[in-house]
Structure 1
């Protein structure tokens, strides 16, 4: 739509991946109510009926949002541009994408981007700040869901649930009962690397199983903050790795956490211990974990991983053929409740931004 007398240029938002199921309609309606006119990418909308309903009410496109070049072209939209952008997956908002989406020749300049998730490590925050693009997220929205899967993976690693299922389906009762009696969370010491919302919820859940909890948190995790936690604050990462039966990672991807747990750190872990990573792949080195699991004298004996360096259609990992590691396809936060909550919270963040900046009013002038 062009800006003509009586028809102001709309404030456009590119929705790279809408919320799941019927929640997509609620989300798009809420964006429209804010004065943000959605263009919806249908690439990951697989339900034909839902696609048809979206196409009936909003402009649509179909492209690979994980392709940096395709994403950039869509944001430029032949010079029309967008003021806002929404996703819930790990879409690559790199410096190049942001620079081209804010270029002076565009009719609309990108000023607001949001991800309906807790993290935004695929966004270039430094470039966004330099270019005046606000980033909004939904921290804590999926904490309960991630904690649930974390504990599920702990139980699988300790009890061998998936392995025993495979053995029974293969017709071998004797193989299925190997390694009994199994370990359990009851009486175990669980160490949490991280002190955010997911770690807090995980601590609450494993305590209910009878586990003792140790926590190595960020510098913000002071004695005062730790006082009401269901666990003991410890001083160093080495304390957690060497002192716990199960170690679970809950830190964001950052310069500080990249390679936080490598070969040297894994060697500190107890024989027979378990490592769980539902945080970010960059925190635990896949190659180092693979080698440690294959060496009975080095580090953990079992692991479970939900995050990988290469994901999606291009998935590959050295852990894929490791018999001591359970793999999960980065789905810890993907529950209906978590995604609905994340969508609601991001819409609230968008509404706050629109109201505080007058974005829609400016666009209509």
Structure 2
């Protein structure tokens, strides 16, 4: 075999910051290998001892904090070896500084591809990635049904007080558990959806099955023509939706345009007995503003349920944690077995398409 042929077949290196969950991790890693990638697997978030052992038996491993900008940057440099690709599930801090370290001159392998097995990429510096020639791939829609299910579960909890009543009974207080009855219901309620993407559409279909009326306010791209096939009524403005709905659910990405989209002025527009659900991004509904509104009976919604926070993970902190009118969920809306498996398969497909389009590891490796 010639040296040129050998070079063409040299496998690429992929840093797997957090593999898929359970046995799907093994399937995912094997699929990456079949694409010509040699994985280095971070075991920091792999808690199953048996799975750790199986990964260690077959692949190179590491143990570092993927949420630490410094540790992530150092690992991507890997003492000068570098990586061609990175795969993750979580919203790791892929900042300009990290990307510059992963693409600097002198590395044997320069980062060319980042894939996240999830919909969002708001913790990635996309402008820096484009400037440095790093492609970003995600899996939008893979967990849409799961997020929609969780959204409706949070609606029901907020309306019916399920978690509060459970807590009261565990404390031995039947009288507290049966307070604020009769409870609200989705049947006959008007549910307003802020955003008109795949998740919002799933939510619309689910709540209509409960007998709710659906209003939706989308971006300028959500024209009446696009809304004609929707299971709901298109409204012209966010203000109209907030003032007219019993339940408001947020389904927009984190962008400069959506930051603080629902702040104090918008919350004051909501009905006194209304409910607000946020399974989108924390920046859309500022936590401190929501906390203040929930504590003021004359201002904004009566209850809320939130799945997303500015400070998550081990450093979790939120003023809403001490608010009795808010149900908290640890950013798990999309984490069902089915959704995670789908996202894992789709990100591998995205890697395959990228490698086929670029010729990386088939004669065009960097």
TM-score by shorter chain over 0.5? yes
How far the C-alpha of 1:5 sits from its partner, in A, is 9.5
- In the alignment, the residues of structure 2 paired with residue 219 and residue 115 of structure 1 have an alpha-carbon distance, to the nearest angstrom, of 28
Per the alignment, residue 63 of structure 1 pairs with: 64
The aligned runs of 1:283-302 (5 Å cut-off) are 283-302=284-303
For 1:235 and 1:78, how far apart are their aligned partners in 2? 55
Q: Which residue of 1 aligns with 2:193?
A: 192
Tell me the equivalent position of 1:218: 219
CA distance in 2, matches of 1:140, 1:6: 39
Report the Cα offset of residue 242 of structure 1.
Answer: 0.4
User: Secondary structure of 1:37's match?
Assistant: strand
Q: Deviations over 1:204-246 (max 9, x none)?
A: 1000000000001112111111111100111111011100000
Instruction: Write out aligned runs for 1:308-347 (5 A).
Output: 308-347=309-348
State the 1:319 CA deviation: 0.5
1:304 alignment partner, SS class: strand
The CA deviation string for residues 21-43 of structure 1, in whole angstroms up to 9 with x for no partner, is 00000000000000011100000
Partner of residue 139, structure 1: 140
Native 8 Å contact 1:192 1:248 kept in 2? yes
Equivalent residues of 2:359, 2:365 under 8 A apart: no
Distance 2:122 2:253 in 1: 8
Counterparts of 1:221 and 1:97, CA distance in 2: 36
For 1:33, the equivalent position in structure 2 comes to: 34
- Give me the CA root mean square deviation: 1.4
Measure the CA separation in 2 of the matches of 1:165 and 1:65: 36
C-alpha distance after superposition, 1:251-287 (max 9, x if no partner): 0001000011111110000010000000000000111
Question: Aligned residue for 1:243?
Answer: 244
The residue correspondences of 1:9-88 to structure 2 (distance < 5 A) are 9-88=10-89
- Shift, 1:4, TM fit: 11
* Aligned equivalent of 2:255: 254
Q: 1:362: Cα distance to partner?
A: 3.3
Work out whether 1:128 is the aligned partner of 2:129. Answer: yes
Question: Which whole-Å CA distance do the structure 2 matches of 1:171 and 1:203 have between them?
Answer: 37
Contact in 1 for aligned 2:14/2:37 (Cα 8 Å): yes
Query: Equivalents in 2 of 1:41, 1:10: separation in Å?
Result: 19
Runs of 4+, deviation exceeding 4 Å: 3-9
CA distance in 1 between partners of 2:113 and 2:140 (Å): 17
Q: Distance in 2 between matches of 1:293 and 1:281?
A: 16
In structure 1, the residue matched to 2:268 is 267
Contact 2:358–2:364, Cα closer than 8 Å, also in 1? no
Distance 1:33 1:220 in 2: 40
Question: Please, what TM-score do these two structures have when normalized by structure 1?
Answer: 0.97
CA contact (8 A) 1:306 1:328 kept: yes
Is the Cα–Cα contact under 8 Å of residues 64 and 71 in structure 2 kept in the other structure? yes
Deviation at 1:99, TM superposition (A): 1.1
| Contact kept? 1:192, 1:199, Cα under 8 Å | yes
* 5+ long unaligned stretches in structure 1: none
User: 1:364, CA displacement in angstroms?
Assistant: 5.9
DSSP-derived class of the 1:30 partner: helix
1:307 pairs with 2:308: yes
Distance in 2 of aligned mates of 1:228 and 1:4: 55
Cα shift at 1:6? 4.8
Question: Counterparts of 1:25 and 1:82 in 2: how far apart (Å)?
Answer: 20
Q: How many angstroms does 1:10 deviate by? A: 2.8
Are the structure 2 counterparts of residues 304 and 89 from structure 1 closer, same or farther at C-alpha, using a change threshold of 3 Å? same
Q: Do the aligned residues in 2 keep the contact of 1:9 with 1:363 (CA within 8 Å)?
A: no
Deviates more, 1:136-145 or 1:216-225: 216-225
Question: Measured at CA, do residues 151 and 5 of structure 1 come closer, stay the same or move farther in structure 2, by a change above 3 Å?
Answer: closer
CA–CA distance in 2 between the matches of 1:48 and 1:326? Answer: 33
Q: From the superposition, tell whether residues 232 and 4 of structure 1 become closer, same or farther in structure 2 (CA, over 3 Å).
A: same
Q: Distance in 2 between matches of 1:234 and 1:4?
A: 62
Helix, strand or coil: the match of 1:238?
helix
